[in-house]
Amino acid sequence: MPRLLLIKTGDSFPDVAADYGNFEALFQARLPDHTLEVWDARGGMPPPAHDALDGVLITGSHAMVSDAEPWSEALKPWLREACERNLALLGVCYGHQLVAEALGGTSGYHPDGRETGTFEVALTEAGRADALLGALPDRFPAHLTHAQSVLTPPAGAVVLAHNAHDSYQALRLGPRQWSVQFHPEFTAPVLRAYLEHQREGLAEAGQNVAALRHGIQETPEANALINNFVVLATASTETG
């Protein structure tokens, strides 16, 4: 059985976790045929050895990468080594921003503010040819909720997807290493709950909360990304 590690970098809002499951439950729900081993990066325990793993996924977080919290900074060397070893990796939201920084890029607050809602994401030419992102349509809806973004990708990173708000919605960071700003683990009800938590701040920033709520829809193409990643990550294990 392939060994898949989920690096947990945060928790959902308590009410969202109670109603729909915490971050690890949302990821696990996308992988009914696999069991994720969860390691909380904030807990003080050392991470598993790289050579014991077949694939790594990294969750989002309510923390901010630019705050450089000690647990987050301590994770960067482990992530760099994972990429050097060509360990299959998929970072999501905070994970996207953190891996970019670990490899020499920069992440921080987006100059246009927070992006929350279901928005269209478009593949680049490289994205259409990519082993992971290329399985998705050229344009697809995705769930997003973030104040920070990748501002400068690492040297050698390939931009795979973008949208009107964010130039770096998806990156390929190595032969088997990817990251995405959007949330392939989220469902529409989860995003609606997040929107309710953020409605006052979004309204104060001049965003139309009613329109954002109305625009929330299911995102089956984006949701398929997690399972597609695991298929790629475990292919050599299953055939070797």
User: Is the pLDDT confidence value at 116 over 70?
Assistant: yes
For position 167, which CATH number holds?
3.40.50.880
Tally Cβ neighbours within 10 Å of residue 17.
17
Confidence of residue 38 (pLDDT cuts 50, 70, 90): very high
Which tokens go with 136?
A: 């998705």
Which residues 6+ apart lie within 8 Å of 230 measured at CB?
A: 2, 4, 31, 34, 55
Which residues 6+ apart lie within 8 Å of 35 measured at CB?
A: 1, 4, 28
Confidence of residue 127 (pLDDT cuts 50, 70, 90): very high
- N-to-C CA span, the chain: 12
Rounded to an integer, what distance in angstroms lies between the CA atom of residue 96 and that of residue 182?
9
Which helix (H) or strand (E) is 121 found in, with range?
Answer: strand 115-123
Rounded to an integer, the average pLDDT of 98-125 is 97
What is the residue range of 38's domain? Answer: 4-239
Structurally, the chain folds into a number of domains equal to 1
Q: How much is the pTM?
A: 0.96
Predicted local distance difference test score (pLDDT) of residue 239:
41
Confidence of residue 236 (pLDDT cuts 50, 70, 90): low
**Beta bridge partners of residue 159, listed in sequence order:** 171
User: Is the pLDDT confidence value at 240 over 50?
Assistant: no
Q: Is 27 exposed, middle or buried, given 0-12, 13-18 or 19+ CB atoms closer than 10 A?
A: buried
Rounded to an integer, what distance in angstroms lies between the CA atom of residue 115 and that of residue 166?
9
